[in-house]
């Protein structure tokens, strides 16, 4: 699941912060009664087999520098693994190439404290630090020099004006690395003042008040012209670096922006009504920082295993399984696919189901809010039925569930924007679990639903087996049901609120202000 502003063949997009709804406790029911095709499929799909695919994706990442990001051999190997499995199962498989703007780095970023007790910090959003947008490349080692810091932070945001005035740098030693605090003025003003004072690099850390501690924004320097590498860190990192005068650090930023080719994998059943297509999708790519086993190996592995088991059936409706490329660069694969369809081809898609992170270690069972009653943003007509059908599954297991908003944050966005009923499951990313959620779902309050979100630690160890198994069954239940009857679900004009959410994507816009 993407979070950072990216640009590619379909342009720039952002995403909206996920907010969880009030939680509904499902009542007990019999989820496994009957011998219909859906229940048979649920029985055939096991979490153990889903996890075998995750082990394969983990091995692919390990063999390719720890990542499966689009535009690299790690993604291409993931593509070949999925496509090979599906072809051998009897699906018609299409590899759909498209170009995009790869915005990443050549060598891994470095921020390391080299004096005293040495420490290497972790790169990535919701981790320790990121490079600011428009930061130039650079490798610097030097002494940190604090610039007008307010520690502990003041009671209100923007109590710090660190680096906002040239006078803040009085006595600054040329060649040192400027350590500044967020607040009052833009990141660009702070860094420009540091350059004028002779700094060799700049580190700005979040200010420290409630809501201003983590790397939860996309810091930008507002355009070209900056001449020193510039990082943004969490408050904890900055406060730690400021604790000892004369601390030395090593910094390295080696960015690359270039056009690359990546791929969607589309697998279609040979049987079934081509005028009533049931489509399931998950993004196959990871971020560059890690192997992406929960985000989104879990969703990809879930729909892959459902597809493999479903290959033994003869569905009444055409089944189509999509594994998207370049989701982490702005939902580019799914958008490219939908844009490539004619109006007639879109009209044949009865519904789309999206699965992006279904095994978060500190999970909740989230169901997309198709009717909009929890968040006020409904999907196209028919999305409400999909939500209700997922709710019936969890009710049948006696399991709690909660609504998750259509924020435009994942690959359903392109589908709801053109009126295709959509739904899906989501177990959570960087949002912290509440006390109420911990009481209902278990897990730990106060930490993210996925503590390794967009990080190197999103490995096979970052998977909750129970969430993976339950959600794989839920996918199988709805896929098996809709393969034979989609009922009242069909295409219609997109709901205005859903279209707005799909097109706005307001999560992590570039933020130049402190």
Provide the annotated active-site residues. 327
CA distance 391 to 402: 9
Q: Give dist(CA 186, CA 424) in Å, integer.
A: 39
Give the list of residues 6+ apart from residue 188 with CB closer than 8 angstroms, or none: 221, 222, 223, 226, 512
- Determine if the peptide bond prior to 130 is cis (ω within 30°): no
* 202 strand-pairing partners: 178, 230
Contact 62, 281 (CB under 8 A): no
Which of 381, 363, 316, 371 is CA-nearest to residue 474?
A: 363
> Crossing angle of helices 47-63/465-482, nearest 10°?
110
- Strands 366-368 and 401-404, bridge-based pairing: parallel
Ordered alpha helix ranges (H), 172-331: 187-196, 235-242, 299-310
Report the distance separating Cα 416 and Cα 178, nearest Å. 46
* Rounded CA separation 428/444 (Å): 13
Return the beta strands (E) in 332-421 as ranges. Answer: 349-355, 366-368, 401-404
Is the previous residue joined to 375 through a cis bond, with omega within 30 degrees of 0?
no
Instruction: Count how many residues are written for the chain.
Output: 514
User: What whole-number distance in Å separates Cα of residue 3 and Cα of residue 328?
Assistant: 7
According to DSSP, the β-strands at 138-146 and 177-181 are: parallel
């Amino acid at each position: 699941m993407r979070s950072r502003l990216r640009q590619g063949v379909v342009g720039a997009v952002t995403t909206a912060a996920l907010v969880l709804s009030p939680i509904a406790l499902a009542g007990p029911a019999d989820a496994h009664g009957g011998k219909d095709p859906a229940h048979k499929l649920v029985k055939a799909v096991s979490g153990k087999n889903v996890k075998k695919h995750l082990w394969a994706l983990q091995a692919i990442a390990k063999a390719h520098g720890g990542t499966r990001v689009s535009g690299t051999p790690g993604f291409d190997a993931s593509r070949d693994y999925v496509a090979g499995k599906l072809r051998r199962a009897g699906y018609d498989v299409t590899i759909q190439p498209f170009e995009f703007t790869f915005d990443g780095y050549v060598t891994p970023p470095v921020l390391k404290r080299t004096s005293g007790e040495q420490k290497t910090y972790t790169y990535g959003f919701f981790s320790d630090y990121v490079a600011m947008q428009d930061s130039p490349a650079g490798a610097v080692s030097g002494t940190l020099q604090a610039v007008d810091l307010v520690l502990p932070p003041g009671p209100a945001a923007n109590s710090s004006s660190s680096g906002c005035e040239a006078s803040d740098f009085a006595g600054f030693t040329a060649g040192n690395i400027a350590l500044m605090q967020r607040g009052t003025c833009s990141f660009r003003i702070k860094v420009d003042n540091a350059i004028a004072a002779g700094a060799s690099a700049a580190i700005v850390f979040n200010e420290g008040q409630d809501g201003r501690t983590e790397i939860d924004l996309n810091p930008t320097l507002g355009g070209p012209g900056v001449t020193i590498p510039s990082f943004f860190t969490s408050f904890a990192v900055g406060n730690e670096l400021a604790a000892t005068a004369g601390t030395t650090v090593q910094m390295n930023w080696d960015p690359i922006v270039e056009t690359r080719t990546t791929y969607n994998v589309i697998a279609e059943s040979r049987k079934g009504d081509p005028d009533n297509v049931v489509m399931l999708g998950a993004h196959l790519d990871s971020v560059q920082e890690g192997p992406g086993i929960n985000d989104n190996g879990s969703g990809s592995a879930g729909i892959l295993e459902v597809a493999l088991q479903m290959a033994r059936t003869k569905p009444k409706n055409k089944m189509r399984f999509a594994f998207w490329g370049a989701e982490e660069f702005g939902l580019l694969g799914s958008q490219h696919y939908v844009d490539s369809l004619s109006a007639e081809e879109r009209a044949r898609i009865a519904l789309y189901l999206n699965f992006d992170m279904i095994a978060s270690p500190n999970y909740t069972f989230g169901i997309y809010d198709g009717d909009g009653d929890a968040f006020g943003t409904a999907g196209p007509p028919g999305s409400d039925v999909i939500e209700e059908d997922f709710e019936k599954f969890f009710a049948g297991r006696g399991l709690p569930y909660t609504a998750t908003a259509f924020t435009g944050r994942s690959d359903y966005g392109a589908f709801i924007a053109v009126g295709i009923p959509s739904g899906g499951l989501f177990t959570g990313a960087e949002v912290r679990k509440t006390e109420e959620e911990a009481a209902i779902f278990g897990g730990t309050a106060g930490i993210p639903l996925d503590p390794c979100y967009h990080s190197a630690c999103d490995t096979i160890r970052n998977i909750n087996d129970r969430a993976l198994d339950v959600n794989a069954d839920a996918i199988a239940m709805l896929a098996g049901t809709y393969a034979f009857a989609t009922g009242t679900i069909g295409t219609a004009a997109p709901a205005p609120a859903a279209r707005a959410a799909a097109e706005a994507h307001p999560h992590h816009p570039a933020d130049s202000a402190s």
